[in-house]
């Protein structure tokens, strides 16, 4: 019964947020928490192995952030991660840190670029079906916990005290839990694949919840991996595009 009631509650909360959003400018954290580390998951060969990576990415909104006209959000991130690849599974984990800026336009006396910074942890476990030179990751679960602070955090607090905005105005901690899936095809010295995640970002202390999704296409050549990523946080910051790079340490 709880499994039926819970999605209904989240859906009702989403509708409520949409109605509030239409009345006052809505804001939350600068980082939507969707798929913060695009883990590199090599195709299984003949034994279990572990690989380590350092990487980074740059993320930018594609339209008005949080549906506030002419508002822009972007951030850069650095991360370290490891992936253990087995015949029937992949397990990845890592840490990340980021810095960004949000351009506020809606509130005349508080408008301007508001910087922010943060960091957190992320991990993913997925089941794998080995298909020779390919790996099919049918289902997995990915979780992330992160903290954010800075001028954008202070802006939300000040604006909320004056009843000028709604949304996430106090919380500095958030987490995302998503289901994941993907496909990887290996060539002689390279590999190519896709990943997708679908989940929810929630905030500690406050109630808002965002439905989230992420899609990425990635290519690996020897030690280098690059990717393009699209993320969407419904009711949240909206659509964002990301370009990133990772380097295999061992």
- pLDDT level of residue 25 (50, 70, 90 thresholds): confident
Q: How many CA atoms lie within 13 A of 194 on its CB side?
A: 5
What would the DSSP string read from start to end of 124-175?
Answer: EEEEEEE-SSEEEEEEEEEEEEEEEEEHHHHHHHHHHHTT--EE--S--EEE
Kindly tell me if the per-residue pLDDT of 243 is higher than 90.
yes
* 115: nearest Cα among 85, 148, 87, 147: 148
Quick check: helix, strand or coil at residue 204? Answer: coil
How are beta strands 26-27 and 166-167 bridged, if at all?
parallel
Output the pLDDT for position 18. 46
- In this structure, which CATH number among 2.10.25, 2.40.128, 3.30.750, 1.10.510 belongs to the domain 2-248? 2.40.128
Distance set, CA 132 to CA 43, 54, 152, 186, 200 (Å): 9, 28, 49, 9, 34
- pLDDT level of residue 105 (50, 70, 90 thresholds): very high
Encode pLDDT of 132-187 as tens digits. 889 999 999 999 999 999 999 999 999 999 999 988 988 999 999 999 999 999 99
Q: How many CA atoms lie within 13 A of 73 on its CB side?
A: 24
8 Å CB contact between 105 and 68: yes
Mean pLDDT of 109-113: 94
Q: How many CA atoms lie within 13 A of 135 on its CB side?
A: 28
Encode pLDDT of 178-217 as tens digits. 999 999 999 988 999 999 999 999 999 888 888 999 999 9
Helices (H) and strands (E) in the chain, counts: 2, 12
8 Å CB contact between 226 and 208: no
Q: Please give the mean pLDDT across all residues of the chain.
A: 89
Kindly tell me if the per-residue pLDDT of 126 is higher than 70.
yes
Give the H or E element holding residue 217: strand 209-221
Read off the tokens for 92. Answer: 């990845």
């Amino acid at each position: 019964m709880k499994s039926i009631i819970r999605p209904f509650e989240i859906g009702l909360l989403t509708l409520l947020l949409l109605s509030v959003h239409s009345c006052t400018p809505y804001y939350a954290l600068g980082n939507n928490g969707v798929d913060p580390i695009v883990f590199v998951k090599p195709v299984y060969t003949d034994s279990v192995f572990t690989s380590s990576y350092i990487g980074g990415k740059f993320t930018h909104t594609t339209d008005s952030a949080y549906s506030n006209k002419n508002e822009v959000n972007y951030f850069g991130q650095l991360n370290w991660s490891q992936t253990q690849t087995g015949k029937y599974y992949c397990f990845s984990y890592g840490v990340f840190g980021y810095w960004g800026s949000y351009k506020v336009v809606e509130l005349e006396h508080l408008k301007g670029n508001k910087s922010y910074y943060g960091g957190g942890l992320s991990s993913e476990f997925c089941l794998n079906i080995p298909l020779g030179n390919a790996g099919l990751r049918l289902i997995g679960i990915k979780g992330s916990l992160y903290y954010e602070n800075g001028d954008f955090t202070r802006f939300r607090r000040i604006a909320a005290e004056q009843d000028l905005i709604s949304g996430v105005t106090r919380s500095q901690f958030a987490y995302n839990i998503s289901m994941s899936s993907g496909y990887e095809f290996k060539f002689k010295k390279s590999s190519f694949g896709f990943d997708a995640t679908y989940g929810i970002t929630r905030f500690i202390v406050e109630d808002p919840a965002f439905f989230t999704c992420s899609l990425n296409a990635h290519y690996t050549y020897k030690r280098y991996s690059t990717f393009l990523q699209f993320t969407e946080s419904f009711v949240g910051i909206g659509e964002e595009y990301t370009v990133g790079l990772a380097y295999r340490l061992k």
